[in-house]
Every structure is written in structure tokens, then in C-alpha cells.
């Protein structure tokens, strides 16, 4: 068996998302909404005035996503187990289609994400939702930083003692 030296390409991260700025900003919004607390998402949707006119294209429904890992962390993929995911697709009366996906079984949350995704494509609400997304990002970053600071305080440095006999 041959075991060549590690190929840098073999451990490089997955290709970056498409460079299209519209796609990148939509992707970023969906990420923000999926990582936000449910009540933040619902409050953002609740503040949209007037309430959107829409039809539900699919769902909301709960299903499974097979979670994949990589052997050794960076090797071939394997199936590590499943996760519940709620999803919903909506279409505004003005034609914009929104998609909502979020871990767990909260269909209301998935539908709210789908509506915000659709509304963010309208000129009337794009800036409101972008501002709300910035606030959600800031809140999440603060939560993560607070936790990281608690974890950092458990940093350890062990000293190796000199062995007695030799």
C-alpha cells in the first residue's frame, strides 16, 4: 500500500459559494436566520407591516437530513446519523419565492424564515430585513463570544514531571 504525503488539495475546504453577490447575500441571510433564536425570527416577521400576502408552495414539513462527516475529519465522507429539519417554501403575491430550512421540528420557524427570504427580495422590505439580520448576527456573535470566553478560562498547560528511575 502506498501512503503519499498529504496532498494540500485533499484537505482544502469545500469550494467557496458562487461569487454572485446577490446569491452570497441571500445565502448569508438564510444562515443568519437559521442560526438566530426562534423568537428573533418571529419578531422580525411580526414587525413587517402590512403582513405579507402569500401562498405556501410546499410544507411546512419536517423531514430528515443525513448528516455527513469525513473519515479522519478530512477524508472520504461517511453518514454519521440524521437530524430533524423543518422546511417551507412560500410565494409572495408579488411573485418572490422564499425558502426556509432550520434544524428541529419547528414548522412555524421554517415558514417565517421562508417569508423573510421572500420579503428580503422586495425593494419595500430589503433594508428592514437586512438591518434585522445585522442585529441578529450581532446578538449571535455576542452569545458565541461569551461562551468562548468561559471556555478559554479552562485552558490548560500540563507540566511533565521528571521520571524517577532513568
Using CB under 8 A, list all residues that contact another protein.
Answer: 1-7, 9-11, 13-14, 17-18, 23, 26-27, 30-31, 34-35, 61-85, 87, 89, 99, 101-105, 144-158, 160
Q: Which DSSP letter does residue 89 get?
A: E
Q: In this complex, which beta carbon is closest to another protein, that of residue 61 or of residue 127?
A: 61
Q: In this complex, which beta carbon is closest to another protein, that of residue 46 or of residue 63?
A: 63
8 Å CB contact between 98 and 114: yes
Q: Shortest Cβ distance from residue 126 to another protein (Å)?
A: 18
Cα angle 141, 49, 31; round to 5: 30
Q: Shortest Cβ distance from residue 26 to another protein (Å)?
A: 8
Q: In this complex, which beta carbon is closest to another protein, that of residue 51 or of residue 145?
A: 145
Q: Shortest Cβ distance from residue 132 to another protein (Å)?
A: 17
Q: Shortest Cβ distance from residue 93 to another protein (Å)?
A: 20
Query: Sign (positive/negative) of CA torsion 144, 150, 152, 154?
Result: negative
Q: In this complex, which beta carbon is closest to another protein, that of residue 62 or of residue 126?
A: 62
Q: In this complex, which beta carbon is closest to another protein, that of residue 123 or of residue 152?
A: 152
Instruction: Check whether the bond before 22 is cis (ω within 30° of 0).
Output: no
Output phi, psi for 69, to 5 deg. Answer: -115, -175
8 Å CB contact between 60 and 70: no
Contacts by 11-18, CB closer than 8 A, 24 or more apart: 11/74
Q: Which DSSP letter does residue 1 get?
A: -
Amino acid at each position: 500500500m502506498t501512503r503519499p504525503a498529504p496532498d494540500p488539495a485533499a484537505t482544502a475546504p469545500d469550494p467557496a459559494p458562487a461569487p454572485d453577490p446577490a446569491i452570497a447575500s441571500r445565502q448569508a441571510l438564510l444562515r443568519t436566520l437559521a442560526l438566530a433564536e426562534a423568537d428573533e425570527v418571529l419578531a422580525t416577521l411580526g414587525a413587517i407591516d402590512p403582513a405579507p400576502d402569500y401562498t405556501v408552495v410546499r410544507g411546512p414539513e419536517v423531514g430528515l437530513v443525513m448528516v455527513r462527516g469525513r473519515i479522519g475529519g478530512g477524508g472520504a465522507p461517511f453518514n454519521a446519523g440524521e437530524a430533524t429539519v423543518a422546511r417551507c417554501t412560500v410565494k409572495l403575491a408579488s411573485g418572490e419565492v422564499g425558502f426556509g430550512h432550520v434544524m428541529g421540528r419547528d414548522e412555524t420557524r421554517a415558514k417565517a424564515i421562508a417569508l423573510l427570504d421572500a420579503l428580503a427580495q422586495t425593494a419595500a422590505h430589503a433594508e428592514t430585513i437586512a438591518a434585522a439580520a445585522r442585529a441578529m448576527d450581532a446578538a449571535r456573535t455576542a452569545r458565541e463570544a461569551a461562551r468562548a470566553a468561559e471556555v478559554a478560562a479552562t485552558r490548560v498547560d500540563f507540566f511533565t514531571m521528571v521520571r524517577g528511575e532513568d
